[in-house]
Amino acid sequence: MLTRKQHELLLFIHDRLAETGVSPSFEEMKDALDLKSKSGVHRLIRALEERDFIRRLPNRARALEVLRMPERVIPAKAAAAAAPALAPAAPKIPVAANDSVLEIPLHGRIAAGMPIEAMEGQSSLSVPAALLGPGEHYALEVSGDSMIEAGILDGDYALIRRTETARDGEIVVALVDEAEATLKYFRREGQMIRLDPANHAYSPQRYQSGQVRVQGKLAGLLRRY
């Protein structure tokens, strides 16, 4: 299943190719989807390539080809405008309904305190599709209270987008010494990595850069009552 942004980008590329025969530029795609940077466009393009919806044509700049459109179709433009009818010839792609649910892997518990093991598991978690953006995701159950000032509570499910990079100030899953994982704010201090809690009762944790490996960034939270 594609995310809403992936749907919108696929439709935009399809429309532009149908109108002009030329792929839109990354700047045009960024503006059309109201993204802050072209890096977001690159991630969406990569996700569509991985799912075999588009491909890049070799030896040609800005050359994209739409390989297929999903079978179950609701026009993205009409969905955004809540329009009940369409022109018959309008390109169509699926749009996940607000109550669409995805199954993502649930990989045990992660500390929002001192690092504990985040275990690989075989279970899964049902997640509203609207909470997830592009990329591959997994879930971890939060244990501890060191991130409560960021609104992350013991027992919450952290929805994590897989990535190995992070910017200062982002909340990440950090694997320490290849053994223990923790959920913290990520910051660099020269050659050191500082993992900051969001609870004044806890102190920052500092490690050599080689001791810490980013395994994902926080994409959302689920809480059960």
Q: Which residues are catalytic?
A: 146, 184
Burial 73-87 (b: 16+ CB within 10 A, else e): eebbbbbeeeeeeee
Closest by CA to 108, choosing from 136, 142, 81, is 142
Residue 59 burial (CB count, 10 A): 5
